[in-house]
Structure 1
Amino acid sequence: MQPNPGKRISSIDFVRGIVMIIMALDHTRDFFHIDALTQDPLDPTTTHPWLYFTRWITHFCAPTFLLLSGVSAYLSSQKKSTTEASNFLIKRGLWLILMEITVITLALTFNPFFNFILLQVIWAIGASMVLLGIVTRFSKKAVLLIGIVLFFFHNITDLLNLPTTGPAGIAWQALLTARGTVVPLGATHFLGIFYTVLPWTGVMFTGYGLGQLYQGNFPAELRKKMLFYLGCALTALFVVLRFTKFYGDPTPFASSPNILTNIYNFFNTSKYPPSLQYCGMTLGPILILLSLTEQLKGQWIDRVSVYGKVPFFYYVLHFYVLHALTVVAFFACGYNMSQVSDNASIFLFRPASFGFSLVWVYVIWIAVVIGLYIPCKKFLRYKQTHQHPFLSYL
């Protein structure tokens, strides 16, 4: 059975909804877990299985956002001329970067003076969208080619001696290699670039190429088979590269006599920047999930899909809700105004000594996700019943 032209394929919204829900778990941990600012949850010497899984499962979120943003960009471009689609992508990308610098940074830090500006996943999506808009203006075929090159070969930079200081060093780190780059903007203001652009651009461009599978006249059964086999191949590539230690991650798999440590090390691939092994580990299963969920129906599928249909609205709102709850818990735990700021934390009202056990992190996470369902559903209904052009940016 083939979808009608223009029909929205539910698996995209459902899978995006799943990762939106999972994403909130990681951010809840950042705000509320007692060890979030002092311990790496993926460090095999200090972690435990539950904590490790809590952090690791959220690795699926960012690459899924970028991939499905590429798919959505392709589908929306089918209703516009090349110039119109290009202009929209560039404007929306710039708008997302502005939102990252202002609205989202404020949500994360609660610092009205913006002493620390964060560039994270929305920055990566926005910058990639601008590049996508530029490239599609000249050649849509080039998008997939560039995406494949960036996706599979950007880790060649692990073998090169690139500049690490000065303007050239900052440029290389911001675009391709940084685990995290902090750029001073003055004596009291800093810019934190935590998501490098081009590896994520490779994911979005590849998603744009995959968008062809979701055209209205593309056979559904063939699409599902192609997604499934592509997902299996990408997952297998991750396993092979991880075991051979040949290529695809700046930190090769280090085997250990301890079985649990071996598991930790095997799945601890680089997200900052996203390595080929990381993308294979995450996007392989996501492609398989997309292939298996296309025809699923039911009340829970519809409810999860609500989050996936309004991802930016949910993303911004969940940060403000989490940080507002942090302020409430901050004072409830006996902290006072003199402790609002902590040199060990860029988040106001979240000192390094603040926090709760992992059990409470899960309780708060579930409560926040459930609490955001009605606002997301109302906003979705508003988008569906109103035609204001600005809504296409949300």
Structure 2
Amino acid sequence: MSVIKSTRIQSIDILRGVVMVLMALDHTRDYFHLDASLNNPTNIETTTPILFFTRFITHYCAPVFVFLAGTSAFLYGNNKTKPKLFKFLFTRGLWLIFLEIFVNSFNWTFDYTYSLIALQVIWAIGIGMIALSFLVLLPKKVILGIGIILVAGHNLLDKTIAEGTSFQSIIWYMLHQPNSIPISGTRFAYIIYPVIPWIGLIALGYCFGSFYTRGFCAETRKKWLLSLGIGAIVLFFIIRGTNMYGDLTPWSTQDTFTKTVMSFFKVTKYPPSLSYILITIGPSLLFLLAIEKAKNKITDFFLVFGRVPLFYYFLHIFVIHSFAIIGVILFNEGWRDILSNISDRSIIGLAKYGYSLFVVYLVWIGIVALLYLPSKKYMIYKANNKQKWWLSYL
């Protein structure tokens, strides 16, 4: 890798790069796995241990992505006035929501009529940044308290269920209950990422950025990373073990030990439960501790993706979806009929013509390798053109 001077925190970018690469695995599975449209990979009755693990390991992507977005916001605003930070977070949040609706929805469906608008992680970060733009005007201890309350307490709302398309129901779908909303005719929006816990997580990530300010004692930071990481994992096992709170779906003893373990780790992502956040953020903090001083070819590889996350995010979905269509054309004699019957070229339709999990892993590795060079070139371009304000939005 070319030597690039940067004031960015390397360990944070490496962690972000790792989850970005894992994200490609999950999305490759969505498009290429034969079973993707038929069964949920966490369905204990139909899944396999390797398929379950493939899905579980990618659970780390969204929470780490959101958490570190908050951390990056803190580091970005560390030497800026609160009004300037407010403006940046508010406008970038709006920009991300725009990208989610008009770019990401198209990447997922290749449907220029936008019959489906999927509000996913980019939407959640966008809303989180808008919320954070107001939160940063408050004392940091207050931000921390709000973050803890939203992350730890939102499962108290699990039993509140809205129905229909009233204004109140739509607001509730946005806040805490995944659901679809009709827009007009056959068009609808699907809110996959309700925002209450994600706002809490981005707020916690913002406070976490304090550990990486210039002059902060490295040994003290390591002690905090160790304590918070282990504490989150221990708390996960306590809360999940009691089966009383912290997740919409309780675990249960199954007919085999393996299935029981899978049931225990089958945590809820939509919206992310307290258990889900604890078992993903906890190990991630320990990972940050482990790689704080790491510098080798492997970390350099992940560093590339971690420094251009938004560019890589949109590019990898477009490429994976394109390759899925190419796969249908190359390996199905009746591909014209197949594609003509998929009105929006959607993920669900293509997945019916998928492949084994082994092929999924091979395609994933190939796609990540393919995206490395353009991501690296863009990383270098950003590093050499810091004076261009618009790059901070990409």
Shorter-chain TM-score above 0.5: yes
Alignment partner of 2:184: what SS? coil
CA contact (8 A) 1:251 1:270 kept: yes
* Greater Cα offset, 258-267 or 247-256: 247-256
Shift of 1:186: 1.4
Moved more, 322-331 or 360-369: 322-331
Q: Distance in 2 between the 1:349 and 1:55 partners?
A: 17
Q: Is the 8 A contact 1:148 1:202 kept in 2?
A: yes
Question: Could you tell me which residue of structure 1 aligns to residue 285 of structure 2?
Answer: 287
Secondary structure of the structure 2 residue equivalent to 1:185: strand
Residues 329-360 of structure 1: per-residue CA shift (max 9 Å, x gap)? 11112243332255798617943531111111
> Aligned partners of 2:233, 2:345: CA distance in 1, in Å?
36
Identify the residue that residue 3 of structure 1 maps to in structure 2.
none
Letter in 2 for 1:232: I
Provide the C-alpha distance between the structure 1 equivalents of 2:344 and 2:34, rounded to a whole number of angstroms: 13
Amino acid in the other structure paired with 1:312: L
After TM superposition, the structure 1 = structure 2 runs for residues 254-273 of structure 1, keeping only pairs within 5 Å, are 254-273=252-271
Shift of 1:203: 0.7
Q: Structure 1's 348 and 342: CA in aligned 2 closer, same or farther, altered over 3 A?
A: farther
Letter paired with 1:244: T
- The equivalent residue for 2:235 is 237
Structure 1 residue aligned with 2:297: 299
Q: Which residue of 2 aligns with 1:73?
A: 73
Could you state the TM-score of these two structures normalised by the residue count of structure 2?
Answer: 0.94
What is the identity percentage for the equivalent residue pairs of Structure 1 and Structure 2? Answer: 41
Under a length normalisation based on structure 1, what TM-score does the superposition of the two structures give? 0.94
Could you tell me which residue of structure 2 aligns to residue 57 of structure 1? 57
Q: Any conservation in 2 of the 1:330–1:349 contact (CA below 8 Å)?
A: no
Tell whether the 8 Å contact from 1:224 to 1:292 is kept in structure 2 after alignment.
no
Structure 1 residue 22: Cα displacement: 0.6
Using a 3 Å threshold, how does the CA distance of structure 1 residues 349 and 256 change in structure 2: closer, same or farther?
closer
The aligned amino acid for 1:370 is A
- Taking the aligned partners of 1:344 and 1:33, their CA distance within structure 2 comes to 20
CA distance, structure 1, for counterparts of residue 308 and residue 161 of structure 2: 40
The size of the alignment, in residue pairs, is 386
Give the Cα separation in 1 of the matches to 2:124 and 2:329. Answer: 35
> 1:63-113: per-residue Cα shift (whole Å, max 9, x none)?
000111111100101121100001100000100000000111111100011
Q: Residue 295 of structure 2 aligns to a residue in which SS? A: coil
CA deviation digits over 1:248-267, x for unaligned, max 9?
Answer: 01111212242011011000
RMSD: 1.7
The answer (yes or no) to whether the contact 2:109–2:345 under 8 Å persists in 1 is: yes
Deviations 1:256-300 (A, max 9, x none): 242011011000010001000000111110011111110111121
3-state SS of paired residue (2:136):
helix
Structure 1 unpaired stretches of 5+: 1-5
Equivalent position of 1:144 in the other structure? 144
Matching residue of 1:109 = 109
Instruction: State the 1:308 CA deviation.
Output: 0.4
2:91 counterpart of 1:91: yes
Contact 1:108–1:319, Cα closer than 8 Å, also in 2: yes
SS at match of 1:273: coil
- Secondary structure of residue in 1 paired with 2:246: coil
- Structure 1 residue 367 and structure 2 residue 345: aligned? no
The 8 Å contact of residues 25 and 365 in structure 1, kept in 2 or not, is answered as yes
